[in-house]
Amino acid sequence: MLHRTTAGRVFDIFNVILFIVFCISILVPFINAIAISLSSYQAAAIGKIGLWPKGFNIEAYHKLAYSKQFLRTFMNTAFLTVVNTALVIVLSLSAGYVMAHKHLIGRGFLFIVLIIPLYFSGGLIPFYLLVNKIGLNNTYWALILPGVINVFYIIVFRNQINQLPQELMESAEIDGASEMRILINIILPLVMPMAMAFVVFSAVAYWNEWFGVLIFIREKTMWTLQFQLREILINSALIDSETQKALINEETTIHPNNLKMAALMLTILPIIVIYPFVQKFFIHGQLVGAVKG
Protein backbone atom coordinates (compact mmCIF):
# COMPACT_ATOMS: atom_id res chain seq x y z
CA MET A 1 0.00 0.00 0.00
CA LEU A 2 1.33 3.39 -0.98
CA HIS A 3 1.71 5.82 1.91
CA ARG A 4 1.75 9.55 1.20
CA THR A 5 4.31 11.65 3.00
CA THR A 6 3.34 14.77 4.90
CA ALA A 7 4.80 16.93 2.17
CA GLY A 8 2.79 14.99 -0.44
CA ARG A 9 -0.48 15.44 1.46
CA VAL A 10 0.22 19.16 1.90
CA PHE A 11 0.89 19.41 -1.83
CA ASP A 12 -2.38 17.62 -2.65
CA ILE A 13 -4.35 19.93 -0.33
CA PHE A 14 -2.71 22.97 -1.89
CA ASN A 15 -3.60 21.72 -5.39
CA VAL A 16 -7.23 21.10 -4.42
CA ILE A 17 -7.55 24.57 -2.88
CA LEU A 18 -5.87 26.15 -5.90
CA PHE A 19 -8.22 24.45 -8.36
CA ILE A 20 -11.28 25.32 -6.26
CA VAL A 21 -10.25 28.99 -6.25
CA PHE A 22 -9.56 28.80 -9.98
CA CYS A 23 -13.00 27.29 -10.70
CA ILE A 24 -14.73 29.89 -8.52
CA SER A 25 -12.90 32.71 -10.31
CA ILE A 26 -14.30 31.40 -13.61
CA LEU A 27 -17.81 30.44 -12.53
CA VAL A 28 -18.71 33.50 -10.44
CA PRO A 29 -18.38 36.10 -13.27
CA PHE A 30 -20.14 33.71 -15.67
CA ILE A 31 -23.09 33.15 -13.31
CA ASN A 32 -23.23 36.88 -12.55
CA ALA A 33 -23.47 37.65 -16.28
CA ILE A 34 -26.37 35.20 -16.61
CA ALA A 35 -28.10 36.79 -13.62
CA ILE A 36 -27.75 40.30 -15.07
CA SER A 37 -29.11 39.18 -18.45
CA LEU A 38 -32.21 37.75 -16.74
CA SER A 39 -32.84 40.60 -14.28
CA SER A 40 -35.35 43.42 -14.48
CA TYR A 41 -34.65 46.90 -15.80
CA GLN A 42 -34.64 48.41 -12.31
CA ALA A 43 -32.24 45.81 -10.89
CA ALA A 44 -29.86 46.20 -13.83
CA ALA A 45 -29.98 50.00 -13.49
CA ILE A 46 -29.06 49.80 -9.81
CA GLY A 47 -26.29 47.34 -10.60
CA LYS A 48 -26.46 45.33 -7.38
CA ILE A 49 -27.05 41.89 -8.87
CA GLY A 50 -25.26 38.90 -7.42
CA LEU A 51 -25.50 35.29 -8.52
CA TRP A 52 -29.29 35.20 -8.82
CA PRO A 53 -31.54 37.28 -11.12
CA LYS A 54 -33.65 40.02 -9.56
CA GLY A 55 -37.02 40.49 -11.17
CA PHE A 56 -36.87 37.71 -13.76
CA ASN A 57 -36.94 39.13 -17.31
CA ILE A 58 -36.05 37.47 -20.65
CA GLU A 59 -36.94 40.45 -22.83
CA ALA A 60 -33.27 41.02 -23.75
CA TYR A 61 -33.01 37.51 -25.24
CA HIS A 62 -36.30 38.06 -27.04
CA LYS A 63 -35.10 41.27 -28.65
CA LEU A 64 -31.79 39.73 -29.73
CA ALA A 65 -33.56 36.69 -31.16
CA TYR A 66 -35.61 39.00 -33.40
CA SER A 67 -32.74 41.35 -34.21
CA LYS A 68 -31.89 41.01 -37.91
CA GLN A 69 -28.38 42.36 -37.41
CA PHE A 70 -27.60 39.95 -34.57
CA LEU A 71 -28.94 36.96 -36.51
CA ARG A 72 -27.01 38.04 -39.59
CA THR A 73 -23.73 38.23 -37.67
CA PHE A 74 -24.46 34.82 -36.17
CA MET A 75 -24.83 33.30 -39.63
CA ASN A 76 -21.70 35.11 -40.87
CA THR A 77 -19.69 33.70 -37.98
CA ALA A 78 -21.01 30.18 -38.47
CA PHE A 79 -20.16 30.31 -42.18
CA LEU A 80 -16.63 31.63 -41.64
CA THR A 81 -15.98 29.15 -38.82
CA VAL A 82 -17.00 26.12 -40.91
CA VAL A 83 -15.20 27.24 -44.08
CA ASN A 84 -11.98 28.35 -42.39
CA THR A 85 -11.76 25.30 -40.13
CA ALA A 86 -12.33 22.90 -43.04
CA LEU A 87 -9.75 24.62 -45.24
CA VAL A 88 -7.12 24.81 -42.50
CA ILE A 89 -7.43 21.14 -41.52
CA VAL A 90 -7.52 19.83 -45.12
CA LEU A 91 -4.57 21.94 -46.29
CA SER A 92 -2.50 21.32 -43.15
CA LEU A 93 -3.00 17.56 -43.27
CA SER A 94 -2.24 17.47 -47.00
CA ALA A 95 0.89 19.58 -46.59
CA GLY A 96 2.00 17.52 -43.59
CA TYR A 97 1.63 14.32 -45.62
CA VAL A 98 3.66 15.80 -48.48
CA MET A 99 6.39 17.00 -46.09
CA ALA A 100 6.59 13.52 -44.55
CA HIS A 101 6.68 11.69 -47.88
CA LYS A 102 9.92 9.80 -48.42
CA HIS A 103 9.92 10.57 -52.18
CA LEU A 104 9.84 14.34 -51.67
CA ILE A 105 13.09 15.88 -52.88
CA GLY A 106 14.64 18.54 -50.62
CA ARG A 107 12.48 17.79 -47.58
CA GLY A 108 15.04 19.30 -45.20
CA PHE A 109 15.29 22.56 -47.13
CA LEU A 110 11.51 22.84 -47.51
CA PHE A 111 11.09 22.26 -43.79
CA ILE A 112 13.47 25.14 -43.02
CA VAL A 113 11.56 27.39 -45.42
CA LEU A 114 8.33 26.31 -43.72
CA ILE A 115 9.38 27.19 -40.18
CA ILE A 116 10.75 30.66 -41.06
CA PRO A 117 7.28 32.29 -40.77
CA LEU A 118 7.05 30.91 -37.21
CA TYR A 119 9.95 33.17 -36.18
CA PHE A 120 9.66 36.15 -38.53
CA SER A 121 6.69 38.22 -39.62
CA GLY A 122 6.29 41.22 -41.86
CA GLY A 123 4.08 42.97 -39.31
CA LEU A 124 0.54 44.26 -39.32
CA ILE A 125 1.00 47.23 -41.66
CA PRO A 126 2.66 45.27 -44.51
CA PHE A 127 0.01 42.58 -44.03
CA TYR A 128 -2.78 45.13 -44.40
CA LEU A 129 -1.13 46.73 -47.45
CA LEU A 130 -0.73 43.34 -49.12
CA VAL A 131 -4.35 42.33 -48.53
CA ASN A 132 -5.53 45.73 -49.77
CA LYS A 133 -3.22 45.60 -52.81
CA ILE A 134 -4.60 42.30 -54.08
CA GLY A 135 -8.16 43.55 -53.72
CA LEU A 136 -9.34 41.49 -50.74
CA ASN A 137 -10.26 44.46 -48.56
CA ASN A 138 -13.93 44.51 -47.46
CA THR A 139 -14.46 40.91 -48.62
CA TYR A 140 -14.72 37.61 -46.77
CA TRP A 141 -11.57 36.49 -48.59
CA ALA A 142 -9.61 38.83 -46.30
CA LEU A 143 -10.82 36.74 -43.36
CA ILE A 144 -10.28 33.38 -45.08
CA LEU A 145 -7.17 33.31 -47.26
CA PRO A 146 -4.54 34.81 -44.89
CA GLY A 147 -5.11 32.10 -42.29
CA VAL A 148 -5.62 28.94 -44.35
CA ILE A 149 -1.97 27.92 -44.02
CA ASN A 150 -1.13 27.06 -40.42
CA VAL A 151 2.56 26.18 -40.18
CA PHE A 152 2.23 24.77 -36.66
CA TYR A 153 -0.48 22.32 -37.73
CA ILE A 154 1.58 21.27 -40.76
CA ILE A 155 4.64 20.52 -38.62
CA VAL A 156 2.61 18.53 -36.08
CA PHE A 157 0.92 16.49 -38.83
CA ARG A 158 4.29 15.90 -40.48
CA ASN A 159 5.82 14.63 -37.26
CA GLN A 160 2.78 12.47 -36.52
CA ILE A 161 2.84 10.88 -39.97
CA ASN A 162 6.60 10.28 -39.68
CA GLN A 163 5.93 8.22 -36.54
CA LEU A 164 3.51 5.91 -38.35
CA PRO A 165 4.77 2.53 -39.63
CA GLN A 166 6.09 3.14 -43.13
CA GLU A 167 5.08 -0.40 -44.10
CA LEU A 168 1.45 0.75 -44.21
CA MET A 169 2.15 3.30 -46.94
CA GLU A 170 4.54 1.01 -48.80
CA SER A 171 2.05 -1.86 -48.92
CA ALA A 172 -0.63 0.50 -50.24
CA GLU A 173 1.76 1.74 -52.93
CA ILE A 174 2.50 -1.85 -53.94
CA ASP A 175 -1.23 -2.51 -54.25
CA GLY A 176 -1.49 0.47 -56.60
CA ALA A 177 -3.23 2.95 -54.27
CA SER A 178 -2.96 6.60 -55.26
CA GLU A 179 -1.56 9.23 -52.93
CA MET A 180 -5.04 10.61 -52.30
CA ARG A 181 -6.36 7.16 -51.41
CA ILE A 182 -3.44 6.56 -49.04
CA LEU A 183 -4.03 9.92 -47.36
CA ILE A 184 -7.80 9.45 -46.93
CA ASN A 185 -8.05 5.71 -46.20
CA ILE A 186 -4.82 5.07 -44.27
CA ILE A 187 -3.33 8.28 -42.90
CA LEU A 188 -6.49 10.15 -41.92
CA PRO A 189 -7.96 7.43 -39.63
CA LEU A 190 -4.63 7.12 -37.81
CA VAL A 191 -4.26 10.88 -37.19
CA MET A 192 -7.97 11.53 -36.62
CA PRO A 193 -7.60 12.31 -32.87
CA MET A 194 -4.96 14.94 -33.66
CA ALA A 195 -7.07 16.32 -36.50
CA MET A 196 -10.13 16.62 -34.23
CA ALA A 197 -8.05 18.43 -31.61
CA PHE A 198 -7.01 20.93 -34.27
CA VAL A 199 -10.65 21.24 -35.39
CA VAL A 200 -11.53 22.32 -31.84
CA PHE A 201 -8.64 24.80 -31.71
CA SER A 202 -9.47 26.30 -35.11
CA ALA A 203 -13.22 26.43 -34.63
CA VAL A 204 -12.91 28.28 -31.31
CA ALA A 205 -10.36 30.69 -32.78
CA TYR A 206 -12.49 31.50 -35.83
CA TRP A 207 -15.68 31.73 -33.77
CA ASN A 208 -13.95 34.42 -31.69
CA GLU A 209 -12.64 36.30 -34.71
CA TRP A 210 -13.10 40.06 -34.55
CA PHE A 211 -9.74 41.75 -35.23
CA GLY A 212 -9.74 40.90 -38.93
CA VAL A 213 -13.23 42.39 -39.21
CA LEU A 214 -12.01 45.56 -37.50
CA ILE A 215 -9.18 45.94 -40.03
CA PHE A 216 -10.67 44.79 -43.32
CA ILE A 217 -14.48 44.86 -43.18
CA ARG A 218 -16.45 48.06 -43.76
CA GLU A 219 -19.95 46.69 -44.41
CA LYS A 220 -22.07 46.19 -41.29
CA THR A 221 -23.83 43.24 -42.93
CA MET A 222 -20.48 41.39 -43.01
CA TRP A 223 -19.67 41.72 -39.32
CA THR A 224 -18.99 38.63 -37.24
CA LEU A 225 -20.70 37.82 -33.97
CA GLN A 226 -17.72 38.70 -31.80
CA PHE A 227 -17.27 42.05 -33.52
CA GLN A 228 -20.97 42.77 -33.06
CA LEU A 229 -20.63 41.86 -29.38
CA ARG A 230 -17.64 44.17 -29.11
CA GLU A 231 -19.67 47.03 -30.51
CA ILE A 232 -22.53 46.27 -28.10
CA LEU A 233 -20.19 46.16 -25.12
CA ILE A 234 -18.35 49.34 -26.10
CA ASN A 235 -21.29 51.46 -27.12
CA SER A 236 -24.94 50.51 -26.84
CA ALA A 237 -25.76 53.21 -29.37
CA LEU A 238 -24.32 51.04 -32.13
CA ILE A 239 -26.98 48.34 -31.72
CA ASP A 240 -29.31 47.97 -34.69
CA SER A 241 -32.20 50.42 -35.01
CA GLU A 242 -34.88 47.93 -33.91
CA THR A 243 -33.17 47.40 -30.57
CA GLN A 244 -32.40 51.11 -30.25
CA LYS A 245 -36.12 51.86 -30.36
CA ALA A 246 -36.68 49.33 -27.59
CA LEU A 247 -34.03 50.97 -25.45
CA ILE A 248 -35.34 54.52 -25.78
CA ASN A 249 -39.03 53.59 -25.49
CA GLU A 250 -40.55 54.90 -22.29
CA GLU A 251 -42.20 51.53 -21.66
CA THR A 252 -39.07 49.48 -22.27
CA THR A 253 -38.12 46.77 -19.82
CA ILE A 254 -34.60 46.32 -21.20
CA HIS A 255 -31.57 47.99 -19.67
CA PRO A 256 -28.36 48.20 -21.76
CA ASN A 257 -26.64 45.91 -19.27
CA ASN A 258 -29.41 43.33 -19.80
CA LEU A 259 -28.75 43.47 -23.51
CA LYS A 260 -24.97 43.30 -23.20
CA MET A 261 -24.98 40.24 -20.98
CA ALA A 262 -27.66 38.51 -23.04
CA ALA A 263 -25.56 39.05 -26.17
CA LEU A 264 -22.53 37.69 -24.33
CA MET A 265 -24.41 34.54 -23.32
CA LEU A 266 -25.77 33.92 -26.82
CA THR A 267 -22.29 34.38 -28.26
CA ILE A 268 -20.61 31.73 -26.13
CA LEU A 269 -23.59 29.35 -26.04
CA PRO A 270 -22.71 27.40 -29.23
CA ILE A 271 -19.18 26.67 -27.96
CA ILE A 272 -20.53 25.52 -24.60
CA VAL A 273 -23.05 23.21 -26.31
CA ILE A 274 -20.64 21.69 -28.83
CA TYR A 275 -17.51 21.35 -26.68
CA PRO A 276 -18.67 18.38 -24.52
CA PHE A 277 -19.24 16.30 -27.68
CA VAL A 278 -15.73 16.91 -29.04
CA GLN A 279 -13.88 16.91 -25.73
CA LYS A 280 -12.95 13.23 -26.02
CA PHE A 281 -11.26 13.87 -29.38
CA PHE A 282 -9.54 16.92 -27.94
CA ILE A 283 -8.06 15.02 -24.97
CA HIS A 284 -7.12 12.01 -27.10
CA GLY A 285 -5.42 14.27 -29.61
CA GLN A 286 -3.35 15.90 -26.89
CA LEU A 287 -2.25 12.50 -25.57
CA VAL A 288 -1.36 11.23 -29.02
CA GLY A 289 0.66 14.34 -29.74
CA ALA A 290 2.52 14.07 -26.46
CA VAL A 291 3.54 10.39 -26.74
CA LYS A 292 6.31 9.33 -29.05
CA GLY A 293 6.19 5.88 -30.55
Predicted confidence (pLDDT) per residue in 168-209, tens digit? 777 877 878 788 888 888 888 888 888 888 888 888 888 888
Angle value at C-alpha 214, between 122 and 204, nearest 5 degrees: 85
Query: Which CATH number fits the domain that encloses residue 179?
Result: 1.10.3720.10
Q: Mind listing the pLDDT tens digit for each residue in 39-81?
A: 877 777 777 787 888 888 788 888 887 778 888 888 999 999 9
Please give the torsion angle defined by the CA atoms of residues 179, 180, 181 and 187, in that order, rounded to the nearest 10 degrees. 80
Q: Mind listing the pLDDT tens digit for each residue in 144-161?
A: 988 888 888 998 898 888
Residue 212 lies in a domain: yes
Rounded to 10°, the helix 151-162/188-207 angle is 160
Residue 185 lies in a domain: yes
Question: What is the model's pLDDT at position 3?
Answer: 65
**Helix, strand, coil share (%) of the chain residues, nearest 5:** 75, 0, 25
* Close Cβ partners of 263 (under 8 Å, ≥ 6 residues apart): 64, 70, 228, 229, 232, 233
Structurally, the chain folds into a number of domains equal to 1
Q: Mind listing the pLDDT tens digit for each residue in 267-289?
A: 888 888 877 777 666 655 444 44
Q: Mind listing the pLDDT tens digit for each residue in 89-110?
A: 999 999 888 888 877 787 788 8
Output the CA torsion sign for 39, 42, 45, 51. negative
CA pair distance 242, 245, nearest whole angstrom:
5
Could you tell me how far CA 178 lies from the centroid of its own chain?
34
Q: Which domain holds residue 81?
A: 68-238
Question: What is the model's pLDDT at position 108?
Answer: 80
